[in-house]
Amino acid sequence: MDEETLHQIEQTTGYQFSDTSILDLAFTHSSAVDDRLHSNERLEFLGDAVLALVICQALFERFPEYLEGDLTKIKSKLVSRETCAQISGRLGLQEFLKVGKGMVSNRALSGSLAAGVLETVIAAIYVDGGFDAAREFILKIFEDLLEEADAEQAQGNFKSLLQQYAQERFSATPSYVLLDEKGPDHNKCFELEVMISDRHFRSAWGTNKKEAEQKAAFNALLELGVLEQPVTKDDE
């Protein structure tokens, strides 16, 4: 790799490589070589794993009140091929990718190529500089998306929103009280209510406790004026 290209990649990534030979491998697509072992496929495999670990750790540390399902939804969106392709396109990483002649016309159009090269760059940084260097790079390029994904998730996570509001407004943590349950074991429904300090809010039913808790939290947010009652067709 020539000095100018190396300099451009280091400027783009914000990382200075000690072993520049890793970059040749990172930007060599399998269509450009006779032996796929000399392509970036193995780095893509490694980069995918490093990316997933860093994002999972970031979500685990940032959102201590989120359940596993909430974290999984955000993580799945962030590490998706579509998201990786968007970030790679924004950085212009695919411009440095060496591909076979038959792939040239499709380079800018291929989301898979763009996503893959982001993962190979992550792996290259990891191999060259270790986990901390790769983590710094990933968090830098995913920062805005982390915040956006959390905001989108919070819109449907009424328990998290209520907990944040209750702690800021009342210095208290909501508690959920099981009031009733009906139906056979294989098809039960549960009624729960929210309490904040000594205040009770309107209860809600759900097909499982988690659903009932979310609905009860929604009722509490309505009563507190944090949310407005959605307009239905019958109201119009």
Residue 231: how many CA atoms within 13 Å on its side-chain side? 3
Report the pLDDT averaged over residues 157-171: 89
Task: Band the pLDDT of 232: cuts 50, 70, 90.
Answer: very low
CA distance 128 to 5: 18
Catalytic residue among 44, 48, 191, 193: 48
Task: Band the pLDDT of 119: cuts 50, 70, 90.
Answer: very high
> Is residue 195 pLDDT above 50, yes or no?
yes
Residue 111: what pLDDT? 75
Q: Which tokens is 114 given?
A: 């763009």
Q: Is-contact 123 47, C-beta < 8 A?
A: yes
DSSP letters, 103-146, are GGGGTTT-HHHHHHHHHHHHHHHHHHH-HHHHHHHHHHHHHHHH
Residue 36: what pLDDT? 85
> Is residue 202 pLDDT above 90, yes or no?
yes
User: pLDDT, tens digit, for every residue of 22-58?
Assistant: 998 999 988 888 888 889 999 999 999 999 999 999 9
Picking from 131, 138, 160, the residue whose alpha carbon sits closest to that of residue 73 is 160
Catalytic residue among 44, 70, 119, 128: 119
Report the pLDDT averaged over residues 86-111: 76
CA distance 1 to 119: 19
Residue 107: how many CA atoms within 13 Å on its side-chain side? 20
66-69's contacts with Cβ under 8 Å and 24+ in sequence apart are 66/153, 66/157, 66/160, 67/210
Mean confidence (pLDDT) of the chain? 87
Between residues 99 and 122, the one the model is more confident about: 122
CA distance 107 to 220: 51
User: Quick one: how far is CA 230 from the chain centroid?
Assistant: 28
143 catalytically annotated: no
**SS3 of 202, please?**
coil
Between residues 61 and 32, the one the model is more confident about: 61
Picking from 44, 13, 55, the residue whose alpha carbon sits closest to that of residue 142 is 55
Between residues 229 and 19, the one the model is more confident about: 19
48 catalytically annotated: yes
Residue 42: what pLDDT? 96
DSSP letters, 23-61, are HHHHTB-GGG-SSGGGSSHHHHHHHHHHHHHHHHHHHHH
Q: Which tokens is 148 given?
A: 């956006």
Domains in the chain, please, with CATH?
3-155 (1.10.1520.10), 158-224 (3.30.160.20)
